[in-house]
Structure 1
């Protein structure tokens, strides 16, 4: 593995920027190549077959850039396409999803606890979190709730306002999430509304930011495999499959600088 090679990160839109920001904060020397599949967002209401097709196309782009790691920064794609992507990429790069790091974190910290999960329909209906949690044999009770309005709401810039407040509260008061001790933000968009969710629970429920958990998991992998970038110089390169104003605005908000977006259509 070329330790100075980039980390490739992809998502359907701005959600994966929460992961990219967490990665650049924790690993400031790493080169980042991000692909936002804005032409097909959100992934949460797409079929598994469609998500797999998008994911393989994006992986081709990241492999052409010689990425050492491909990070699937999307729960829907992690649930639907991880095994296929891992097989497709083979030994060319390490493939990491955003689900396994969270499962490992639960095993280490939440044995015997009641955990809530909110995510897209694709993530929740795949039942992947429940299967992986049950396989831990840690007596963890998982309560899952699909929250399909949240990702498109965030993509459209509706967070930290009265509109988002009403939608968030309507979901969180659902009986499914009664008596939980922690809540997994099972979509990489959701850290953008983490503060609103924390305000709702008033400290009674620990809100788990998966972007931070995934970044720590990635750092651990790089350290253990002596694959951290030894150079101080770092590059951030962003591809999008369709130009959207919200994505351009969000990249500037996340990284505190104007980011040049390169248009890269997946099918042309």
Structure 2
């Protein structure tokens, strides 16, 4: 049995997973969290499956050393490429979650016989993981997927509320491949940072599914189901990075509204 006071480990290639981490800490403020940003290898979206798997296993090992009770792969690319391998590697030492299954469960209950859109990295879209899982629901859901590879690097560079990002977003969302959708899945944890611009583009005609909120609620439900919510914690936040950058440190302050210190933890010495 896991220790309920043990931390939750969350990892991503960069700042994108902080959208999920912030949603988790808002929903479960008493939980201790450890966030690992693999800044030495970002973005994951254009990496090979083998490379993402290698990075993910290394990070899981770090989080196991920190005695995490739950490890959340807060990255769609890593969830698509490495979830099964990570779960096998971690075994019974911690519970492993991804950011795809909670979203699929969510749309199962709400979007039968609807046409949905998905935007994500090349790795996520080309893996077809969402389409396979949605088709398996047998709910007559049509999923139209579009790779949007410029968005995550753009957001990492801080371009998420200006005319540059606006034109790139509009170019992608105007693609005929997304015609006729009733809702759009933000299939990358970076994308909630441009949710406002995406919503403005559609003018309220398309529902925007913020996966970070969906995943946070699923995580809380699992902890409650297994009586593992931390009843005594004060919500300690720790941040590890594989390569220190000032921009990442600034991003943690932007997300969590307080000064933070990063611990440099290279994956390969």
| TM class, shorter-length | over 0.9
The alpha carbon displacement at 1:245 in A equals 2.2
1:1-268 to 2 correspondences below 5 Å:
1-268=2-269
Q: What is the alpha-carbon distance in structure 1 between the residues aligned to residue 233 and residue 58 of structure 2?
A: 31
Q: What is the alpha-carbon distance in structure 2 between the residues aligned to residue 68 and residue 50 of structure 1?
A: 25
Q: What is the alpha-carbon distance in structure 2 between the residues aligned to residue 53 and residue 87 of structure 1?
A: 14
Note the alpha carbon deviations across 1:48-100, whole angstroms, 9 max, x for none. 00000000000000000000000000000000000000000001000000000
Q: What is the alpha-carbon distance in structure 2 between the residues aligned to residue 182 and residue 38 of structure 1?
A: 31
Q: What is the alpha-carbon distance in structure 2 between the residues aligned to residue 101 and residue 232 of structure 1?
A: 26
Query: Is contact 2:5–2:233 with CA below 8 Å preserved after alignment?
Result: no
Q: Secondary structure at the match of 1:45?
A: coil
Query: Is contact 2:70–2:94 with CA below 8 Å preserved after alignment?
Result: yes
The alpha carbon displacement at 1:233 in A equals 1.7
Q: What is the alpha-carbon distance in structure 1 between the residues aligned to residue 234 and residue 25 of structure 2?
A: 12
Q: Secondary structure at the match of 1:248?
A: helix
Distance change in 2, residues 1:232/1:63 (3 Å): closer
Q: What is the alpha-carbon distance in structure 1 between the residues aligned to residue 192 and residue 149 of structure 2?
A: 15
Note the alpha carbon deviations across 1:91-139, whole angstroms, 9 max, x for none. 1000000000000001011111100000000000000000000000000
The alpha carbon displacement at 1:244 in A equals 1.6
The alpha carbon displacement at 1:232 in A equals 3.6
Q: Secondary structure at the match of 1:134?
A: helix
Q: What is the alpha-carbon distance in structure 1 between the residues aligned to residue 92 and residue 233 of structure 2?
A: 27
The alpha carbon displacement at 1:255 in A equals 0.3
Q: What is the alpha-carbon distance in structure 1 between the residues aligned to residue 235 and residue 180 of structure 2?
A: 44
Q: What is the alpha-carbon distance in structure 2 between the residues aligned to residue 56 and residue 162 of structure 1?
A: 38
Query: Is contact 2:29–2:234 with CA below 8 Å preserved after alignment?
Result: no
Q: Could you state the TM-score of these two structures normalised by the residue count of structure 1?
A: 0.99
Q: What is the alpha-carbon distance in structure 2 between the residues aligned to residue 233 and residue 27 of structure 1?
A: 10
- Long gaps (5+) in structure 1: none
Report how many aligned residue pairs link the two structures.
268
Q: Could you state the TM-score of these two structures normalised by the residue count of structure 2?
A: 0.99
- Long gaps (5+) in structure 2: none
